[in-house]
Amino acid sequence: MKKKLVVIGAGMASGRLLEHLFETAPDAWQVTLFNGEPRGNYNRLMLSPVLSGEKTYDDIVTHDADWYAAHGVDCRFGQPVVRIDRAARVVHSNQSSAEYDALVIATGSAPFIIPVAGKDLPGVVTYRDLEDTDAMIEAGRAGRDAVVIGGGLLGLEAAAGMAARGAKVTVIHLMGHLMERQLDPAAGYLLQRDLERRGIAVHCKGATKAILGHDRAEAVLLEDGTVYPADLVCMAVGIRPETRIAVDARLEVERGITVDDGLRTSDPNIFALGECVEHRGQLFGLVAPLYDQARALARTLSGETAEFRPVQTATKLKVTGCDLFSAGDFAEAQGREDIVFRDPGRGIYKRLVLQDNRVIGVVMYGDTADGNWFYGLIKDGTDIEQMRDTLIFGPGFQGGSRPDPMAAVAALPPEAEICGCNGVCKGSIVNAVQGGATTLDAVRAGTKASGSCGTCTSLVEQVMRLTLGDGFAAAAPGGMCKCTDHSHEDVRRLIRSMGLKSIPAVMQELGWKSVGGCRSCRPALNFYLLAEWPLEYRDDRQSRFVNERNHANIQKDGTYSVVPRMWGGVTTPDELRAIADAADKYGVPMVKVTGGQRIDLLGVRKEDLPLMWADLNRAGLVSGHAYSKGLRTVKTCVGSEFCRFGTQDSTGLGIRLEKLLWGSWTPHKVKLGVSGCPRNCAEATCKDVGIVCVDSGYNISVAGAAGMEVKQTEHLAATPSEDEAVEIVTAFIQLYREHARYLDRPYKWVAKVGLDWVIAQVVDDPRNRRALVKRFETSQSVYRRDPWAEHSTPSETPRWAPLADLTLEAAE
């Protein structure tokens, strides 16, 4: 007589189990199959091609009515099991019951619903079954607005499918880059770029606050206030094992139903497999290990001893045109090494993680042809020492060649402009070289290329190297840092010309050799990007040195110093009182007058910073940016208002300049001085910009220094008009922002580009000067605000304190 087997759930895992069972022991079991969905088994993975229109439902059915009939399966579809009676060995749905000798739970997962207002509105779906898929197809057909919450595997397949059907889709993703569990930021960036190219909008770092709508979903509101219209909202933020009936039956359940190596639960007559189980602390979300479970369970049910052992799984995204592949462990760790290959031109990124001469992880984007080969190396633990050098090029490595770093320059047509300042094109440089100019100086003398601002120097050298071949000996190019061979100038130029707008974009397109940069390139890139794209780029706090991230100078004991701005060195009794009160209230160990005409409160605890700032803000005091690569101080003397020798209002001009320039970020710090007469009490002639007032107006000089090097300023311009003086100073600072390499003070930069060129830009050419001022103003529309105020709000303040303080508890 056949034994009775009841299976709960007709999904991917149980379907495979039944196949094995009927193959090995066709007559052992009489099977009853319950399913929540009103249909039998189909290939759930293929819902995405159904959604995008590449397949129909009929194409993806794996077991049809004939198959069930042929194997005598008693099908109870559309009947979810509601109770398991373990004592009587009976399961119940609302319509029927079935007795069992052995029971298999294969209930899969339930999509996770984020608990926001509006989650239950009609028009909000998940992505799990055919019903969800049909709802999304309908939204696409009607050309509606759709929002997908969640930028993981499922969310992106939903987004791409709906977009293919004609919906206007936005993906909202909580993390900094898409598919962060499978991809590193560089690959995530490429994926995002490809999705955006096909019209899918992507909003990373977006936290959903609510789904808006009266009778049905109309829009999605984010925490940052953004609203996206949405006739359909698909939540694809994750899954959790569907364990409800197991919990009710008091089976042992952790996150999933716990099973042993033979897939047996805590009840010897009950087994479980698929996404609903937890095996040795591990959950499952991809189908490959579930098939292994099915094989093992078929053997257990046949009375053999079987051992399920999970294998590494590989992930692919089923979106046509977005080729990605990831497998194994790609976390960095001691003893691990990366091999990174980037081909910016073709949008390809590959990364292998090696340990002990074995591949342990792989991430690929753009070209995944070798994915399975690498995956095989991981699974087999192949020793790769012999092929290490060419490993990244894949199994056909003999034919593979490294991309030529000069290829981009070689591909430029002769009329491509190389030197923007002097309008020199590639052809002219090639001609000069062929005419005998074999050194940079000779080319510069002959064509003027790179003779001005100098940012194109390395490009000119590349053209020369192309023309001369090995005959060219360039001055060592000097990459920004060990992460790249590109010079600072190259990187700035390429950010501009290629329209790169994020740090991962720069790293990918310019072939960064490290994974996340280093402490030296990250702050530089952050500055270059915000200087180039003030309105589009968002400052990356985590790429800033501690002082700029925390808006205060760190001290050797980990406390901070706080320096409020004193415009032009002028203060009031009320401000002084507020400073004194703050010093008392927060127990400041030292109050010191700085060399920059203001007051330093030293030794403040980090968690007190926002509180102190809020107090200082209330008295009208704002950050003095004493920590920033930006405008520091504008030192002034008393000038014509009080001094018997004063010729102009130097104090007033200093304050005016400080109010104009504050908050701006610059390649290095910038200090100004304004003196009321040539006695120069404000020491203006050793500042980055110094103004000395005279009877006839204003003498502006620049590029002074008084730190590690002491250097007098050089004369830039003289003007009778205060307005023009302000304009020239602003233009000078913007020119410095646009051209200097990060961490060059103005005196170093001016020495490189030559004062004559600077004068030509900001003094002799009023139109150019005004354009510079205008660009400066655009940037200031974003950055001229007090960071202290932004960080001392009620929601930000707690972030400055520890996550938990266990010392208090101990004291009790």
- Torsion 188-193-199-201 (CA) sign: positive
Is residue 589 a contact point for ligand SRM (CB under 6 A)? no
Is residue 110 a contact point for other proteins (CB under 8 A)? no
Residue 538-567 contact track with other proteins, rule CB under 8 A, x = bound: ---xxxxxx--xx---x-xxx---------
Quote the least distance from Cβ 396 to ligand SRM, whole Å: 51
Is residue 8 a contact point for ligand FAD (CB under 6 A)? yes
Q: Tell me how many degrees the CA angle 640-645-650 measures, rounded to the nearest 5.
A: 35
Quote the least distance from Cβ 74 to ligand FAD, whole Å: 14
Neighbours of 142 (CB within 10 A): 12
Instruction: Indicate the burial class of 10 (C-beta count within 10 angstroms; 0-12, 13-18, 19 or more).
Output: buried
Among 433, 563, 660, 763, binds ligand SRM (CB under 6 A): 563
* Residue 580 backbone dihedrals phi, psi, to 5 degrees: -65, -45
Is residue 632 a contact point for ligand SRM (CB under 6 A)? yes
The span of 80-88, 142-150, 170-178, 462-470 binding other proteins (CB under 8 A) equals 170-178
CA distance 504 to 525: 10
Task: For ligand FAD, give the closer residue by CB, 319 or 429.
Answer: 319
Evaluate whether 171 touches 155 at the Cβ level (below 8 Å).
yes
Q: In what order do the strands lie in the sheet with 599-604?
A: 553-554, 560-562, 599-604, 590-593
Quote the least distance from Cβ 628 to ligand SRM, whole Å: 10
Quote the least distance from Cβ 48 to ligand FAD, whole Å: 5
Contacts (CB under 6 A) with ligand FAD, residues 131-170: 154, 157
Q: How many residues bind ligand FAD (CB under 6 A)?
A: 34
Among 14, 561, 666, 734, binds ligand SRM (CB under 6 A): 561
Q: Indicate which of ligand SRM, other proteins, ligand FAD, none lies near residue 514 (CB less than 5 to 8 Å, by partner kind).
A: other proteins
Quote the least distance from Cβ 798 to ligand SRM, whole Å: 25
Among 708, 806, 808, 810, binds ligand SRM (CB under 6 A): 708
Structure tokens, 81: 């099991």
Q: Are strands 348-355 and 358-365 parallel, antiparallel or unpaired?
A: antiparallel
Report which of 18, 105, 129, 96 is spatially closest to residue 63, judged by C-alpha positions: 18
Quote the least distance from Cβ 291 to ligand FAD, whole Å: 9
The span of 61-69, 434-442, 526-534, 595-603 binding ligand SRM (CB under 6 A) equals 595-603
Q: Indicate which of ligand SRM, ligand FAD, other proteins, none lies near residue 312 (CB less than 5 to 8 Å, by partner kind).
A: none
The span of 304-312, 317-325, 619-627, 797-805 binding other proteins (CB under 8 A) equals 797-805
CA distance 215 to 224: 25
CA distance 629 to 627: 7
Q: How is residue 474 annotated by DSSP? A: P
End-to-end CA distance of the chain: 70
Is residue 706 a contact point for ligand SRM (CB under 6 A)? yes
Quote the least distance from Cβ 561 to ligand FAD, whole Å: 54
Q: Indicate which of ligand SRM, other proteins, ligand FAD, none lies near residue 44 (CB less than 5 to 8 Å, by partner kind).
A: ligand FAD
Q: Indicate which of ligand FAD, ligand SRM, other proteins, none lies near residue 45 (CB less than 5 to 8 Å, by partner kind).
A: ligand FAD
Helix (H) or strand (E) holding 739: helix 722-739
Among 20, 29, 44, 665, binds ligand FAD (CB under 6 A): 44
Q: How many residues bind ligand SRM (CB under 6 A)?
A: 21
Report which of 500, 505, 616, 487 is spatially closest to residue 552, judged by C-alpha positions: 616
- Torsion 65-71-72-76 (CA) sign: negative
* Residue 685 backbone dihedrals phi, psi, to 5 degrees: -85, 10
The span of 247-255, 287-295, 337-345, 401-409 binding ligand FAD (CB under 6 A) equals 287-295
SS3 111: strand
Quote the least distance from Cβ 654 to ligand SRM, whole Å: 13
SS3 169: strand
Quote the least distance from Cβ 40 to ligand FAD, whole Å: 9
Q: Are strands 232-235 and 227-229 parallel, antiparallel or unpaired?
A: unpaired
Evaluate whether 242 touches 110 at the Cβ level (below 8 Å).
yes
3-class SS letters over 345-374:
HHCEEEEEEEECCEEEEEEEECCCCCHHHH
Q: Indicate which of other proteins, ligand FAD, ligand SRM, none lies near residue 290 (CB less than 5 to 8 Å, by partner kind).
A: ligand FAD
- Report CA-CA distances (Å) from 374 to 323, 358, 360, 363, 632: 15, 10, 9, 10, 53
* Residue 467 backbone dihedrals phi, psi, to 5 degrees: -80, -40
Q: Indicate which of other proteins, ligand SRM, ligand FAD, none lies near residue 549 (CB less than 5 to 8 Å, by partner kind).
A: other proteins
Residue 166-205 contact track with ligand SRM, rule CB under 6 A, x = bound: ----------------------------------------
Quote the least distance from Cβ 119 to other proteins, whole Å: 17
**In the complex, residue closest to ligand FAD by CB:** 11
Task: For ligand FAD, give the closer residue by CB, 153 or 684.
Answer: 153
Task: For ligand FAD, give the closer residue by CB, 43 or 797.
Answer: 43
Q: How many residues bind other proteins (CB under 8 A)?
A: 45
Evaluate whether 327 touches 371 at the Cβ level (below 8 Å).
yes
Contacts (CB under 8 A) with other proteins, residues 241-280: 255
Neighbours of 352 (CB within 10 A): 24
Contacts (CB under 6 A) with ligand FAD, residues 184-223: none
3-class SS letters over 194-242:
HHHHCCCEEECCCCEEEEECCCCCCEEEECCCCEEECCEEEECCCEEEC
Cα dihedral: 18, 22, 25, 26 (round 10): 140
The span of 9-17, 226-234, 485-493, 671-679 binding ligand FAD (CB under 6 A) equals 9-17
Q: Which residues contact 747 (CB under 8 A, 6 or more apart)?
A: 688, 703, 704, 705, 709, 711
Among 245, 433, 459, 653, binds ligand FAD (CB under 6 A): 245
Positions touching ligand FAD (CB under 6 A) are 8-14, 34-37, 44-45, 47-48, 80-81, 106-108, 127-128, 154, 157, 242, 245, 274-275, 285-288, 290, 318
Positions touching ligand SRM (CB under 6 A) are 553, 555, 561, 563, 592, 594-596, 598, 600, 626, 632-633, 669, 671, 705-709, 745
